[in-house]
Amino acid sequence: MSDVADRVKKIVVEHLGVEADKVTDNANFIDDLGADSLDTVELVMAFEEEFNVEIPDDAAETIVTVGDAIKFLEKNAA
């Protein structure tokens, strides 16, 4: 597992209060991990903070699973 994936999953566990083994690449934040629309906004903010990157709103809308977040950040984070 990449360093980026580890850090993303750690953030998801902390913010959504879910068990680490549920945070798989395919897990959908809303359908599988119990997030609501506000949680997803906060998650994106936490990713921006952790990876020191800006995630524009149109890109944020495409991040719906843990894997989406990892892929985006592997590509865009410094």
Partner 1 sequence: MRRVVVTGLGMVTPLGCGVEKTWSRILDSQSGANKISGFQIDDLACRIACQIPLGDGSDGTFNADQWMEPKEQRKVDPFIVYAMAAATQALDDAGWKPTTYEDQCASGVLIGSGIGGIGGIYEASQTLIERGPRRVSPFFIPGRLINLAGGYVSIEHGLKGPNNAVVTACSTGSHAIGDAARLIALGDADVMVAGGTESPINRLSIAGFAACRALSTNFNDDPTRASRPYDKDRDGFVMGEGAGIVVLEEYEHAKARGAKIYAEVIGYGLSGDAYHITSPSEDGDGAYRCMSAAVKRAGISPSEIDYINAHGTSTPLGDELELKAVERVVGNAAGKLAMSSTKSAIGHLLGAAGSVEAIFSILAMRDGIVPPTLNLDNPSVETAIDLVPHTPKRKEVNVALSNSFGFGGTNASLIFRRVS
The one-character DSSP state at 18 is: -
Is 25 near partner 1 (CB under 8 A)? no
Instruction: Answer for the pair 51, 74: CB distance below 8 angstroms, yes or no.
Output: no
- Which residue's CB is nearer to partner 1, number 42 or number 74? 42
Active site residue 36: yes
The total number of residues shown for the chain amounts to 78
Residue 2 C-beta: closest distance to partner 1, Å: 26
- Which residue's CB is nearer to partner 1, number 39 or number 68? 39
Residues 6+ apart with CB under 8 A from 65: 25, 26, 27, 28, 29
Given 22, 25, 32, 48, the residue binding partner 1 (CB under 8 A): 48
Residue 6 C-beta: closest distance to partner 1, Å: 20
Find the angle CA(37)-CA(20)-CA(56) to the nearest 5 degrees: 35
Q: Which residues are catalytic?
A: 36
